[in-house]
Copies of this chain bind each other. A is one copy, B any other.
Amino acid sequence: MPSVCQDCRVRHEGICAVLSPSELRHLARNARHTHHDAGEGLALESGEINGYANVTNGAVKLSRVLRDGRQQLVGLQFAPDLMGRLFRAESPLSAEAASDVELCRFPRGVLEALVASSSNLKQRLLDQSLHDLDEAREWMVTLGRKSAAEKVASLLLLVAKRSGGGSDDSITFDMPIGRADMADFLGLTIETVSRQVSKLRHSGVIAISGHRHVKVLSLRALKDRAG
């Protein structure tokens, strides 16, 4: 196994899981691990870098900004997701580290060559993009038809699912994004998000410490409020 992959957290997940030893070696030879502080722009799509990357740690936010500055987050990527729009050099999306992030980057051509030769990899990417499509459509319902209260509950639920840890009706996790990004994800303002979070706190559905650390006290109640 390539030495860079030796202690990689996502070695057996994501796209690396479906590569043969020789394919993995080839990819590893061209890969480079990088660290990025929270808030840093990740110029994968446009500009010089022009490649792909596995998220190996942390969370990345994908967003689209309108000419006048209005912003909408269109996705959150966690390990072991692959970042970058396949087969397209330019994408209107911008990516930014939501928390501190570790990436495993590789050049465009290397991955695309692997995709062309590996049916497993192609299948894996098809699965991910179908899954992302399901999530995006689910989110369209949230954006288009839910009230502010339901939107906030839906987002907490979304992150809770990803973060995993917790018992049956109670989960604890850290929000990878602040109130401003939550607002941009939900199509709301900061103030409205804050008010709705407070409402959930006051009604005992969640408990919060340090703005980011969330404990869901009743998962059932939260689901009810998510619409």
Contact = CB atoms under 8 A, between A and B. Distances in A.
Interface string A114-134: 000001001101110110111
Contact of A122 (B68, B88, B126, B134): B126
Nearest to A126: B126
Number of copies of this chain that the complex holds: 2
Q: How large is the interface on A (under 10, 10 to 19, 20 to 34, 35 or more residues)?
A: 35 or more
B86 A140 contact: no
Contacts of A29: none
B127 A87 contact: yes
A182 to B, nearest CB: 12
Interface of A: 62, 64, 66-68, 70-72, 74-75, 85-88, 91-93, 119, 122-123, 125-127, 129-130, 132-134, 136-141, 143-146, 184, 186-187, 227
